[in-house]
Structures are given as C-alpha cells and as structure tokens.
Structure 1
C-alpha cells in the first residue's frame, strides 16, 4: 500500500522535509506504509527531544524498540517502531505517594504538546514501575495509581489526537538490580511508550522478560524472574472512555494483606496471528503427508475504549471485548 505524501504532511515537519525531494520532483513522491511509519517515528522522536530540551532542565532518555509485522494483525503489513521515553520517578512523585508533583507539570505539558501533532491512530501507554521495597502486591497497586495520576493529568490537557492507556508493573520489570539507592531510583520510573498502533505497543510490553535484570548474577536474575512471574497478566486501562470509569486499584496500607490481581474473563481475544500448535506426525505416515495447520490471520484491532490485557507469562496481548 502506498500513502500519498500530502496525506501525512502537516507543516512544519522538519524531519520529513529533510528527507524528501524539493521542486517538481516532490509532486510525484508517494510513500509506502513502511516509509510512512518510519518517517512519523523519526519525527515523533525529534519533536519530543526538541520540546524536552526547550522546556525541561534535564531531558528524558529515549529508546527505540521494534515490533515485527509477523507479530501484528495481517492488515498492518509493516514493522512498527515503538518509542520508549523514560523519566525518573522522582520527577513525578514523592516517596510512597502517587500525587503528581508540581515539578512534573512541565513534563506533562511537553508530552501533551507532542501528542497534539500526532496522527489519530497513535497510541501512548503510560507505564508505572517501582523498586522492590514493599510487597509485590503493594508495589503493583502503587505503580497503577502512579501511572493513572500521570495519565489523568495528560488527559486534562485536552489531548484528543492520540489514545492513552495506563498500566502498572510494580517491581516486576527493573532496568537494573535493586542493589543500591541509585539503582532503586532508576527502577522507580514512569515510561511513555508511543507507537503508530496500540497493538504494537501492547505486543512490545508483553515481551519484556528478555530485559529483566539482563546481565546480572544468577541469584539476582532468579529474584527478578520471580517478581516477573507474579504478574502473569496486567490490565492497561483506557484513560478516556465513553462509559463509566473503571475501578482503579488503590494502594493498601503497608500492614494489610493484599493479593495480586487476577484477570478472569471469557471475553479475551488475542491480538495478531496466533502461534500454530506443534503437529506430531503419525508413526507410519511420512511428515510430508501431514498437512500444515492453517494460520488464523483474523484481524483483531484495539479501539480507544477497550482494556488491553498484557500477558507477561504467555508473551501476548489480549483485548477485553466489552458489551456494547
């Protein structure tokens, strides 16, 4: 599929302009879907970097991730990059609190300004993370509430172009082992994940096990994987919906007994093509005669008001189909 150039240009767009020919030749330029997605991703990155440099005392860290076309609904037809923007948690919250600090308002203003220039099918997931002090359940609840506080503050800016979800992972996905105050400070963070499609961001979030305490010692990695396994499914809830707001998880008192959430519903539908089951050939039939299982390429897409289930154990994304 090709996309007409004028369909994606909304001046000023410095990154796009630098990549394209000028003069008469420009009238004949068309972009493939892959080229369109790549250019929008580069423009998004430069816009956020520029706005951060102008408005913030310290810029966030930027990471580029990528989701392959084979992991996405067949109609997408292209790899989709995911931009991960990481702010340290101390920018947003006081210790053991989830109210957004006054100093964080400038950060949220930057993100809102960037989102106003996005295409309508752009998604941003706001992910909350904690260090490992406190129980698994307490940290999960706190991370959800912190992510929701930032997401609600962003929604209050009146951003309508992009769809926004909030999700918390508690202590399950550290970027470094929690072996010092400095390391724990890095793990207490808020991440903004931007992508052209919500499905791409969800798929990347579901595959984070490879990042869990990478390069650590055997005992530290075992502890990280234990925390990871404690959260097999988490819910990324839409921030703006057409229905009554869903109940949020509140952090319990530190001495309370609180179990981790479980998500049990019959309305979950997988995003993207499923992995075909392994086929065992009958003993006396040559493997060549065994038909290959069909691959279901049913397209399941995510809309703005649907909860997204991130299944960390099975490394897949599910959509909760709500009653309409």
Structure 2
C-alpha cells in the first residue's frame, strides 16, 4: 500500500508537470528543453562534461527539480560555479538557448551505455544468469564488478532482512507470490523465522499448497519480490550489505567543538577497588603507595632463634639488672647581693 501510494503521488506530479507544459505551449511551440526528464541524468551529465559553465547554468535553470539536483551531484565540483551564477537573473538570447537545446536533444539520442542501464539489465536477469554475469565481470573489470555486485538486488537478499523488514515485505506482496518465489530455495526457512507466529503458520500453509514446478515457472513471482525490495531500498526503508546482514549504522563520531563553547568533559575513569571517593568540589587525594614487603632470598641464612635460659639446681636465680634512675638535678641557689663597703669613719 505504501509503494502504491508513493507511485500514485509520483504519477500525479508527472501529470501536473505535463499539464503545465501543455498549458504553456498553447501557441503550438514547446518550451525549451521539454525533453529533459529524470530518466536520463547520467547521459545528460556525460554530455555536459565538455560544455561551459554558462551552458550548465542554462540547463540547471530549465531542468526539473529532481533532474537539476542529480545533475549538480554528477558534475560536482564544476556545478558549484554554475549554481553560484544561477541566482543572478539575466536575459539569454533565444538563439543561444535554441542552439544548446538542439545539440542536447541530438546528443541524447545517440548516447550508448551507462552504469544505470547495466544495473537495470542485471536486476532483471534470472538469478543463475545473474551470478554468471557478475563472475564474468570480476575477470574483466574488478572495480566495476564490485560496484555492481553491491548494487544488484538478489532474491537471496531476503535471508538478510531484519524482522521488521521481512514483515514489511509480506505487507507489500501477496503471500501466494512470496511462497511461490521462495518455494524451492534454500533460504525460505531463514525468511519464515523472521515473521510473526501467526504469519509463519499462514506462510507454511501457503508453501504446502504451492506445487513444485520448474524454476522458470517462478520467474514472474521472483521478479515481483526483487522489484519490491528495490522499491524499499529506493524509499529508504531498507539498506542491504553484501556481507550477509543488513547494513549497520556507522558509529557516531564526536561532534566538533564549537568556537567559544566550553570543552566537553572527559569521560570518567573507573575507580579502583578500595579507592576513596572525594566529596564534590574537593580534589582527589592520592593515596601513598604501600611499601613493598621485603623479598627473602631462599639462599640467605635464617636468623638464629633465641636460646632459653637454663636454671641450675641449688643456684640462686640471677638477679634482675638494676634499672638506673638518673638523679635529679640540684636546684640553683638564689643569688645574695652584698652592698659595697662605705668609707671608713674618721677618728
């Protein structure tokens, strides 16, 4: 239902664009570059590689929005100069525009090849032929083979879907089509295991009702399944990797430091066992390292044990050593002042 709604909106937009084009050509003349559409962005980018920045600015001005964005991406960084000149409004001579239009229309009719064309053909091949073609590409052009192999949608990709994605696929296609496409494959059990319990029972019943036929009989149903997967990828609901699992989200990188902002706090280090936790606002007190115990060498002699005192019968025990107590210091005598002798009396 979601895919049908998106397709309907796309058709309405194209119809509105065609109606506006027909309304603008009431006098019988077609608008400039009326033949440009989002179906050939790669071919148009290939032709515009040899044109000037002024020609590219004219094309970006007349091309539809989606095509102009794709063209700017394909021709980056040359398209930056054309985009910088686009805001300036100016009048271009009609002869100049019509000449460029005639050149592009003629050139587009004779452009052959392209990766989009190759990918479209590979996506519509049978799975066995598809594998053989990709293997042959690996021997001819390894870089192109790797790129195509990452973009080609295979029926075996259903085993790499997550539970939500597998359940969304069952809502886009009839159960009969899915059961017919996966009937004789080796990954049907991997797909069924990702469905809800009620849907699993219903899917297995449909598998039992589906007759075993040659692989060519399932070609149309398998093409519908792969078309639905490609539609989910185009809508952004699904991203497959070729490593056997859906592409995982990349690890988030730290945000760059803004000028003038406070630096981000460093992650806290785990405390060791037994370490004291400082109070808020106080610096942490470093504990002194405990002294290491002396290491005894196995070759060092052991200290002699003290011998016990031996008592002899009939002999008095040895007296205990006297404890000498220091004598107290004598107190100082007070000084007596003697007055000096006076003069002798006269006789």
TM-score range, shorter chain: under 0.3
Higher normalized helix content (fraction of residues)? 2
Structure with bigger RCO (C-alpha 8 Å, 6+ apart):
1
- TM-score (ref. length: structure 2): 0.23
